[in-house]
Amino acid sequence: MKALILAAGYATRLRPLTDEIAKPLLTIGGRRMVDHILDRVREADPIEVHVVTNSKFAGAFSEWAPAEVTVHDDGTTSEDDRLGAIGDLRFVLERAGIDDWLVVAGDNLFDYRLGDYVRWWRSKGVASAVALYEHPDLELVKQYGVVELDEHERVVSFVEKPPDPASNLAATACYLFHREHLKLVATYLDEGNVPDQPGRFVEWLHRRAPVYGYRFSGEWLDIGDRAQLLEADNRARARAGLSPRAEYAPG
């Protein structure tokens, strides 16, 4: 299994913080966001770790990257020409090859163990999987992909940002894709489907192949705006014995 951290977005909701710093390179509790994610990814023991980013931030990611991480520059420079998360997935697959892949967004923070997730997924056979969080706030659930499962944990419904959620199971941007299913990424894109939001591919895929939902407990934060960024920073600062801050600042 190989692992990919998606980090090619431009994080417009966090500007001006992200004018010069990629969102995953912002600090959370004194460490870069992507370092927190990489800690989790290593638990899954992938044979390779890849990060995909854009031309604007490729140099910064290359400076950051530990020896075992390969950084891919997708060649885009702005919101106008970006490939989208699924487009970036195809970009990396064309360079690193089809295999089983763990795919994680570079702005999702969580504390469950990815090794447990991988072992559970492997028990499902030729299948892909999405990590699910039972969100207590149905209003916030409307901002995510909402999933329904059958009695065997197989996804039977996946709807992006529904106005009336059928469940409180929110899809988090942490996926395990079987190699047979990743062969369909090109088909999905060539059909003209939305290239952004990786959940869109899962929404399409579950109607064609087995996809299962992994329910996890614990902490999950999707860093989309300044309030979420400050909350994540202060939670991490508290764990590190640092004082909370009233306003986020890098460093």
- pLDDT tens for residues 192-203? 999 988 889 999
Between 64 and 145, the more confident residue is 64
The CATH architecture to which 2-239 belongs is Alpha-Beta Complex (3.90)
Asked whether the beta carbons of 92 and 6 are under 8 A apart, the reply is no
Query: What backbone phi and psi angles, to 5 degrees, belong to 2?
Result: -110, 165
Question: pTM for this one?
Answer: 0.93
- Average pLDDT of the segment spanning 219-224: 85
Q: Which amino acid is at 58?
A: A
19-67 pLDDT, tens digit per residue, is 889 999 999 988 999 999 999 999 999 999 999 999 999 999 999 999 9
Give the C-alpha separation, 63 to 155, whole Å: 39
Q: What is the DSSP code string of 125-156? A: SS-EEEEEEE-S-HHHHTTSEEEEE-TTSBEE
65-121 pLDDT, tens digit per residue, is 999 999 999 999 988 889 999 999 999 999 999 999 999 999 999 989 999 999 999
Residue 101 CB coordination number (10 Å): 25
pLDDT given for residue 105 in this prediction: 94
pLDDT given for residue 23 in this prediction: 94
Measured distance between the N- and C-terminal CA atoms of the chain, rounded to whole angstroms: 33
pLDDT given for residue 135 in this prediction: 84
pLDDT given for residue 14 in this prediction: 82
Q: At what angle do helices 198-205 and 85-96 cross, to 10 degrees?
A: 80
What proportion of the chain, given as a percentage, has pLDDT over 90? 70
pLDDT given for residue 133 in this prediction: 92
